[in-house]
Structure 1
Amino acid sequence: MQGSSTLYWNFFYTLEFFGVTVPLSEAEQVPSLERVQAQGNDESCVTFVLHEEDHTLGNSLRYMVMKNPDIEFCGYSITHPSETKINFRIQTRNGIPAVEPFRRGLTELVDVCQHVLNTFEASIKEYKEQKDAAME
């Protein structure tokens, strides 16, 4: 496929079973992310293919990327209901490489998820402390 490159993220190449991390063989390794670019060198219009993902990541990431004022278009599609693959398209203004808002969107999404997790865990801790205090 012309203009296609594959980005490999090594941390996706492990499988966790009951708390035991098992590295996958090269035959089992599937790239988690591919970058597909149309002919030419326009870095501002790129499609990223995310494997083993669905609407949960697609819509959340689209929302985070669209908050950036330099984004002209951002959208995603799932190729077929039986496939777990997302085509995530980004077009930017002013020649900004599309990979920059993609990375920024991922980073911001991780930050939001971490905040939600921290808030949830703090609420559980507070609830348990109140419950223990009421039992005494």
Structure 2
Amino acid sequence: MNAPNRYELYVLEDGEKPVEITEDTKIPNAATIKIVKQDHTLGNMLRAQLLSMPQILFAGYKVPHPLHPYFLIKIQTDGTITPQAILHQACTKLIGTMSSLETKFNREFSFKDVEGTGVGVGGMPTEDPYGGTGGAGGAWSGAGRDYLDF
């Protein structure tokens, strides 16, 4: 096959820089940033985070070719902050958001473990949609029923 080895898509080679910044000479307060060994997942999250910041005039990204593991993100600010500094702020906020999401996710699963006593509404045993017992009940509580019954 012509596809590269999988590890080449995310492992940096010796001396390879993960981020390259190119100042734009034609547009004021703008830069194009190449982020290596990443794809649409990070590109879209960074773009969305940047667009939520008031100092940003433009933020967009593209993956030039699916076989090349990098994306380009273009940032233009209002001049009160540099594109590099606003990208750093966006990354910091994004890390905080992901940390908060992980905490909420783990908390919800710990509630499921506490609620997983196997007793539902009115003392009736609850049924898990995947065949086990326990869970929070709700629409899945009912003996002998599955998702096709609703």
Output the TM-score relative to the length of structure 1.
0.70
1:124 paired residue among 109, 132, 135: 109
Stretches of 4+ aligned residues off by more than 6 angstroms: none
d(CA) in 2 for partners of 1:132, 1:32:
48
Task: Name whichever structure is richer in strand by fraction.
Answer: 1
1:49 paired residue among 31, 34, 53: 34
Output the TM-score relative to the length of structure 2.
0.64
Describe the SS at the equivalent of 1:100: helix
How far apart are 1:125 and its partner, in Å? 1.1
Write the letter of the residue equivalent to 1:33: V
**Structure 1 residue ranges without an equivalent (≥5):** 1-14, 16-23
Describe the SS at the equivalent of 1:62: helix
Map Cα deviations across residues 74-110 of structure 1 (whole Å, 9 max, x no partner): 1111111111101111011135211121111111111
Describe the SS at the equivalent of 2:67: coil
1:33 paired residue among 19, 37, 46: 19
Partner of residue 73, structure 1? 58
What fraction of aligned residue pairs are identical, expressed as a percent? 23
Partner of residue 5, structure 1? none
The count of corresponding residues between Structure 1 and Structure 2 is 109
Q: Which has the larger radius of gyration?
A: 2
